[in-house]
A = this chain, B = another copy of it.
Amino acid sequence: MKTLDERLTLLAEVVVRVGLNLQPRQELVLTAPIEAVPLVRKVAEAAYRRGASLVLPLLSDDALTLMRYQMADLEALKKAPAWLYEGLARAYREGAARLGIRGGDPRLLEGVPPEKIAVAQEAQAEAYRPALEAISQFVTNWTLVPFAHPAWARRLFPELPEEEAVNRLWEALFQVTRVDQEDPVAAWEAHNRRLGELVRYLNERRFHALHFRGPGTDLTVGLAEGHVWQGGAAQAQNGVVCTPNLPTEEVFTAPHRARVEGYVTSSKPLAYGGQVVEEIFARFEGGVAVEVRAKNGEAFLKALEADEGARRLGEVALVPASSPVAKTGLLFLETLLDENAASHLAFGQSYAENVPGSPEEQVQRGGNQSKIHIDWMIGSPDTDVDGLYEDGTRVALMRRGEWVI
């Protein structure tokens, strides 16, 4: 049994080699909660070992975030650091790799008035847009990785003392990041190959739409013209093959922004904006979610008013209900993990790698533009998914939540 320190070292290796595939002389910009400093240092060590030029951490403090929501008024909450996010976008475009270390209290903002959250997050999304664009255009190699933040662990295991809760969360995180396997890097290579086969299969079929059927769901998601499926390792515009998101269990592509019809119900709660949104229901006409309901969904629903593209889909992703994340049996209340336990949709911005061409051409082909990108889970062990050809014939892709191809 390896010590926590040894497994953090292995996780850092997986992040730098598999997640980022960091290149010699490359700069690495990473965002992390201050509690993650031990992992940050491990990642920096692995990065410098590979010849990184500079590891620049941008550390955040949940206590400050919460304090601001409590003390600042609505007008003050409209401020967001555009100068920082434009700087980040520039860094990515100039070659810096990006790592996001994720973790924190999913219910941090639970006592905050929803209009405060909505105002602040809209300003945040607007200011962050240049950075989100750079990432959605896949200009550089990047990944996200979870960290067992104490406040997060306490929420997941309220019955355990904090230290035990953190250890339990780490166990789950090492499982889903394959760090508990004999050779984690080799395990990721094998997994990336399997995802690559699914991607190839789907790209060859060139389906016109996907059809989801399950409890509370009967949804047809048209796919963008010339859409490209992605999953696992992929090549960024800077030529580097990286694995965005650790873990990643999905294959995903771009819906057609004007061709989504039917209704769909979320299969898992969604942690969004420091709140836990439940029972999301959406009905689509002509690609637009003309009706959306949710429990504790004030900030979520408000985000869907961000711009014209916010109520349209930017991503559809297929994940088997038996994925390693699902197998932990945990609801993590962290999208990075929960979206890898179930097929999902995202409102908002589509990824450039899913639709060929310039941003204008992407929109013509049905790609979506928005300053938001919010994933939510719709897949379950009761969900069936078919691929539809333009002539209406169909192919079974998933039955009872599992791949049948």
Contact = CB atoms under 8 A, between A and B. Distances in A.
A131 B38 CA distance: 30
A184 interface: no
Interface stretch (A53-61, A144-152, A159-167, A356-364): A53-61
B81 A64 contact: no
A96 B83 CA distance: 11
A94 interface: yes
Nearest to A77: B53
Q: How many copies does the complex hold?
A: 2
A87 interface: yes
Interface stretch (A6-14, A43-51, A379-387): A43-51
A61 B57 contact: yes
A113 to B, nearest CB: 16
Given A44-B64, A53-B79, A61-B40, A86 B87 contact: yes
Interface in A101-133: none
Contacts of A86: 87
Interface residues of A, number: 45
B40 A59 contact: no
A50 to B, nearest CB: 10
Contacts of A49: 71
B81 A25 contact: no
A193 interface: no
Contacts of A77: 53
B44 A67 contact: yes
A94 B83 contact: yes
A399 interface: no
Interface string A381-401: 000000000000000000000
A34 interface: yes
Contacts of A190: none
A49 B67 CA distance: 10
A48 B71 contact: yes
Interface string A51-85: 11111111111011001100111011111110110
Nearest to A80: B54
Given A48-B68, A51-B76, A59 B34 contact: yes
Contacts of A91: 81, 83-84
A339 interface: no
A48 B72 contact: yes
Nearest to A88: B83
A59 B88 CA distance: 16
Contacts of A44: 64, 67-68
A41 interface: yes
A154 to B, nearest CB: 19
A90 B83 contact: yes
Nearest to A84: B87
B83 A54 contact: no
A229 B52 CA distance: 45
A37 interface: yes
Contacts of A29: 81
B64 A79 contact: no
Nearest to A95: B79
Contact of A40 (B64, B73, B80): B64
Contact of A83 (B52, B75, B87): B87
12 contacts: A25-B75, A34-B34, A40-B61, A40-B64, A41-B67, A51-B73, A51-B76, A52-B72, A52-B76, A53-B79, A57-B59, A83-B96
- The 3 A-B residue pairs with the shortest CB-CB distance, nearest first, are A87-B87, A53-B79, A48-B71
Given A54-B72, A59-B61, A84-B87, 15 more contacts: A25-B75, A41-B64, A41-B67, A45-B71, A48-B68, A52-B72, A53-B72, A53-B75, A54-B68, A54-B80, A54-B81, A55-B68, A83-B87, A83-B88, A84-B91
